Chains A and B, each alone.
Chain A
Amino acid sequence: MEKKIGVYICSGCEIGSGLDIEKLSGIATKEYKVPVCKVHRALCGEEGVGVIKNDIEAEGINTIVITACSPRVKYDVFDFGPDKIVERVNLREQVVWSHDWTKQVEVKTKDEEGNEVVNVETRPNDDTQMLAEDYIRMGIVKAQKGALPEPFIESITKNILVIGGGITGLTAAIEAANTGYDVTIVEREQELGGYAAKLRMQIPTSAPYDQLEPTVVQSKIQEAMDHSRITVKTNTEIARISGSPGMFDVSFKPAGTKSVWDVQPKKKEEEGEEKPEEEAKTEEEPVELPADQIKCEDILASDPDAERFGAVVVAAGWRPADPSEFEHLGYGKFTNVVTNVQMEEIAVRGKITRPSDGRQAKSVAFIQSPGVDGDDSDFPFCSSVTSMISLKQAKYVREDDPDAKAFILYKHMRTPGHYENFYRNIQDDEGIFLTRGEVTVIEEDSAKNLTIEVDDTILGEKITINVDMVVLATGMVPATKFEPVINLAYRQGPEFKDLELFDGYSDSNYICFPYETRRTGIYAAGCVRQTMTIGESIEDATGAALKAIQCLESANRGMAVHPRSGDISYPEFFFQRCTQCKRCTEECPFGALDDDEKGTPKPNPTRCRRCGTCMGACPERIISFKNYHIDMIGSMVKAVEVPDEDEEKYRIIAFVCENDAYPALDMAGLNHLKYSADVRFINVRCLGSVNTIWIADAMSQGIDGVLLIGCKYGDDYQCHFVKGSELCNRRMENVAETLGKLRLEPERVQQVQFSIDEYKNIPAVINKFMETMESVGFNPMKGF
């Protein structure tokens, strides 16, 4: 597209009061020879927008630079259609509202008698003016360098694969099928239904939430079997999933067998990940191919017989936890100490009977918390679900024998929300004794009866309970704790990332975005994500089905999914200059890239989230987006006018995360918080996209310092691209080294972790950096 740029300067909202608008226009018309530059006192009003629209019509303006308020506001009035490039220059929040318009200047004059006197006069603040002028330069350059993105559209399939045929998988499949999508369910067992099919009754799922319900799973199985859009593969496992959203090629295999398409576990690089590896080994011994000898073609090759799917829902469920580690509870030693899963098996078979002699249990104790050394945690992997399972099973005991007694020994009774109604109902049963306490020991007599000693009861004394049977409220361990399940043929490995952060659950680390995973198009649901009740699993499965549908519909339009939902730009690679360093492949937080045997990256656009981390990582700078690239940002850096050293003005470039730091700057502006006018902000998609060349460019141009303001990282990371800010920080170590070689102080480049709500600290952050600048002085490369 032949660009015709129009620059439109708004003088409203104090922009005209704080700045010399004529000089600003001059930047556009004289320095950059922009054909059209107009000033309006309220550009966002009907008249102002009309001026722009008129120029689009009459003058053929197609690239519009609006120098007014933040791009976060008036986004709708300055939308001139998808075929126009609009660049917003933030002169309001980040210039006139956050900087002084005037300054006091000492002026020497002579009085009537010819004596020299010094008068203090108020003059326009040239620092603020220079800031605005630089921003206009940067905005024009950005508009010049950017191009309209066009979506990358591939032919995709809209079928959905559901891994796991339990209540979650069945629900996800039915819900997706009812929305018009073809679904295949893969179940490892011979029968559908999972653990939900092995229950006598289920915890209440509907109002008034106070009664046990017959399990819903049989009707779900029937519905799935009868559904014309659902295919069921039982006795089947996933050997591998290769490809990307819209075109996942999936190799199946009979459950428990090996296949030539099996994906080998990735060599563990971090020591902390040793444990799952050990577990994996015991599972699949003997490992034929050492894990560190994965061949590249193994990853890129696809099974010709594979079936193609658009998106995947992982509903692989859970396995019962083993409570043997709590020796004082006697599990494995005493026959009549069972887990809640074993109890359910007994309950399904008939009356509640003792394993030791098959006699009907007259008294059963349920233990909620292992209670080691006063710890009040429930068993591991419990969530609140096991509290309700015990209440449910206590009810079985009472239903089977009205004279039988149930004891529930707990630290905290966890029946959140509506489930309290169920708890209240159980409390009304006079044969169920609920008491807080810590079980210190369980002993067995010759008749295999059990004696439980309970301490720290609410009565403050030790009690002893004699029962026929003890049920331990053990947890539900997610399948992903044991094996990758999804078996991705991805260069970054076959499993979900961050599993260790969530004890093996494939959960999201975002409170606001519960379905986020680091594997685009693959959504976890049910007990693989969190320990859930049947009711919760059904809701969760429905949400995951939506995300799967949304992902493939987005892929179909060439659009990104969350968090840059709807973005049609995508990274392009100039392969001729690729040195096969693999940094892009390794650093992508979403594992979007694979590579061939030479190490040349294979981009998978539908896996990509468009954060630009690959662009930031690439030392050869061969990765670019149409509307966001190395040259664009580099040219913006170079557009900043660097004053000569004798002017004694610092120039700082600050790269800021557009999701959190940039809005915080706007908030600071809205509150008229003031900070140094020596800093020029450049918003970036994510700090992960910051390429060190921009820093080198800045330094060689005489910029005194570079500040990077991005999201918090660590276990509670707030980066919307998971790893961007952390990766940026890692790259800074190399930057420091480079600076050292140039004999520049490493303090000149700093990264700050910042949250959106900390906007009141913006001046402090900037002032602190300016103090550092004062201590290291001007960049000696100025003027070279």
Chain B
Amino acid sequence: MADETTGTPVSGSILVVGGGISGITTALEAAEVGYEVFIVEKNPYLGGRVAQLNKYFPKLCPPTCGLEINFQRIKNNKNVKHFTLTEIENISGGPGNYDVTLKETPRYVNGNCTCCGKCAEACDVEIPNDFNFGMDKRKAAYLPHEMAFPQRYVLDASIIGKDAANKCREACEYNAIDLDMKAKTFNLKVASIVWATGWNPYDAKKMDNLRFGWIKNVITNMMMERLAAINGPTGGKIVRPSDGKAVSSIAFVQCAGSRDENHLPYCSYVCCLASLKQTTYIREQYPKAKVTIFYIDLRTPGRYEKFYKKVKADANVFFVKGKVAKIEEDPVTRDVLVTAENTLSGKKVQGRFDMVVLATGMEPSTATVKVPGNAKYDENNFVISGDILSTGCVKKPSDVMTSGQTATGTALKAIQTLVRR
């Protein structure tokens, strides 16, 4: 596996930066034509955002199903090599002849790890669980999630040099924990680079009126995915964060950041469908619960229209056209009070809910971390595909199916760079 060695630098190969669904797809589609591909991922596992999703719309099927197939494809294809916990430090050269400097941060766990879990049992330090957006804690020696690929533990850097780390090392029977592991820098020569570093949920705290971070029962749509997931913080039970109680009324606030010139001027493409999908999570768990969706326009293009109709047919789901102006908390019950404004008429609508989900939009990862090389951006920090190709949600807001489509085409563009040489 590519984790073990830095690999022999080979020119004529493709470097894919980002190991989410777009990066994996680009890499595999090119590799299955017969080209050598490197996947670089900053997390300790591949899968990216989709690994955090509970289900895909409109089929309501589990993302792990497709990921499992893709991981099998990686396992069976010697053309694909992957580096986790690795980021790109520098890119020099140009198409056909790139020299890339990569930096791997230590996992503190080597290839001997069998995933037996003894280190986690021995570890007495808990840290917030990023995978679940901090809604629960995990041991500082952890497997990021059950389906994590590569299936290998990680030691959080915060315990290195402390007693907890030594306890982990002592518990390991396979000599897999290496506390002396250091960050290492290495170089790859590649002919083509694809930037597929995806997106981050827009920081909901930036929208003062929506009170995320202050009102406990206001969560984001990505948090809802983790709440509904069987391997999430509540084992898949959707409950109020403030008191862990069952919910009977939930509101979704669409365009929380998107289509707003003060935040994300563009439409994030997936949020309408994500909320419709999450409505089905709630309705499945709570046959009596009522769901209200505050929206500007429902964007359910193509075959998704059928899915919208299915959700709309549910008598317990209500659609209110209007932009949410204000969110408050009832200090006694901790219920959430939502005031929406009909943007044209100015009429006010108010509602009381157990819980509110903000349909926060997607911000390209390059809004925070730029490409360390020659790349162009549009005014919203999406990477314009050029010499360095871009694909997936770092190129444009997309759903999974479109990402797969675009990534497949990007694989061909990358191959053309090699062929032309």
Contacts and interface: CB of A to CB of B under 8 A. Distances in A.
Interface in A158-191: 175, 178-180
B265 A543 contact: no
A61 interface: no
Interface string B24-35: 000011101110
B115 A73 contact: yes
Interface string B51-65: 000101001111111
B409 A540 contact: yes
B406 interface: yes
Given A512-B21, A512-B69, A549-B412, A14 B116 contact: yes
Interface in B384-419: 384, 396-398, 400-402, 404-413, 415-416, 419
B112 A45 contact: yes
A295 B77 CA distance: 43
Interface in B1-15: 1
A543 B65 contact: no
Contacts of A539: 405-406, 409
B309 interface: yes
A177 B331 CA distance: 66
A635 interface: no
A110 B67 CA distance: 60
B269 interface: yes
A716 B61 contact: yes
A384 B404 contact: no
A418 interface: yes
B344 to A, nearest CB: 4
A414 interface: yes
A670 B149 CA distance: 14
B404 A514 contact: yes
Given A414-B301, A667-B146, A566 B76 contact: yes
Interface in A63-103: 69, 72-77
Contacts of B101: none
Q: Which of A419, A514, A561, A562 has its CB near the most chain B CB atoms (within 10 A)? A: A514
B259 interface: yes
A436 interface: yes
A417 B396 contact: yes
A190 B34 CA distance: 38
Nearest to A415: B267
B66 A513 contact: yes
Contacts of B235: 760
A502 B303 contact: yes
A507 interface: yes
Q: Which of B66, B70, B342 has its CB near the most chain A CB atoms (within 10 A)? A: B66
Contacts of A720: 69
A333 interface: no
A203 to B, nearest CB: 14
B174 interface: yes
A512 B379 contact: no
B114 A542 contact: no
Contacts of B151: 72-73
Q: Is the interface of B mostly helix, strand, loop or mixed?
A: loop
A565 B61 contact: no
Contacts of A74: 114
B183 to A, nearest CB: 24
Given A180-B419, A757-B230, A565 B76 contact: yes
Q: Which of B76, B267, B409 has its CB near the most chain A CB atoms (within 10 A)? A: B409
B75 interface: yes
B68 A413 contact: no
Contacts of B116: 12-14
A44 B114 contact: yes
A660 interface: yes
A332 interface: no
A14 B401 CA distance: 42
B382 interface: yes
Interface in A538-595: 539-547, 549-550, 553-554, 557, 561-563, 565-566
B266 interface: yes
Interface string A372-388: 00001110000111000
B370 interface: no
A460 to B, nearest CB: 7
A511 B61 contact: yes
Contacts of B229: 757
Interface in B230-265: 230-231, 235, 259, 265
A550 B321 contact: no
A683 to B, nearest CB: 12
A118 B364 CA distance: 69
B265 A424 contact: yes
Contacts of A459: 344-345
A208 to B, nearest CB: 6
A208 B267 contact: no
B299 interface: yes
Contacts of A756: 62, 64-65, 68
A412 interface: yes
A667 B145 CA distance: 10
Interface residues of B, number: 85
Contact of B345 (A12, A13, A460, A543): A460
A417 B412 contact: no
B390 to A, nearest CB: 11
B415 A179 contact: yes
Contact of B34 (A72, A460, A553, A563): A553
A412 B299 contact: yes
Contacts of B32: 550, 554, 561-562, 565-566
Given A179-B412, A416-B301, A459-B344, A511 B112 contact: no
A421 interface: yes
A506 interface: no
A178 B343 CA distance: 50
B409 A543 contact: yes
A458 B65 CA distance: 43
Interface string A470-495: 00000000000000000000000000
A757 B62 contact: yes
A417 B267 contact: yes
Contact of A12 (B21, B174, B344, B384): B174
A148 interface: no
Contacts of B174: 12, 42, 45
B29 A511 contact: no
Contact of A543 (B76, B146, B379, B412): B412
Given A417-B266, A421-B266, A549 B33 contact: yes
Nearest to A461: B345
Given A75-B75, A76-B1, A417-B267, A12 B66 contact: no
Contacts of B409: 175, 539-543, 545-546
A510 interface: yes
B172 to A, nearest CB: 11
B73 interface: yes
B378 interface: yes
A245 to B, nearest CB: 14
A755 interface: yes
B297 A414 contact: yes
Contacts of A520: none
Contact of B309 (A377, A383, A541): A377
A227 to B, nearest CB: 14
Nearest to B298: A412
Contact of A208 (B33, B321, B344, B379): B379
B16 to A, nearest CB: 14
Which 6 pairs show the lowest CB-CB distances between chains A and B? A512-B66, A542-B409, A543-B408, A207-B378, A757-B62, A384-B301
25 contacts: A69-B114, A73-B115, A178-B416, A179-B419, A384-B299, A384-B301, A410-B297, A416-B299, A509-B59, A511-B61, A512-B400, A539-B405, A543-B405, A545-B412, A554-B32, A557-B34, A565-B32, A566-B73, A663-B64, A667-B146, A756-B64, A757-B54, A757-B229, A757-B231, A758-B230
Given A512-B66, A544-B408, A758-B230, 11 more contacts: A13-B114, A73-B114, A175-B412, A175-B416, A412-B299, A412-B300, A414-B301, A512-B67, A514-B408, A545-B409, A546-B415
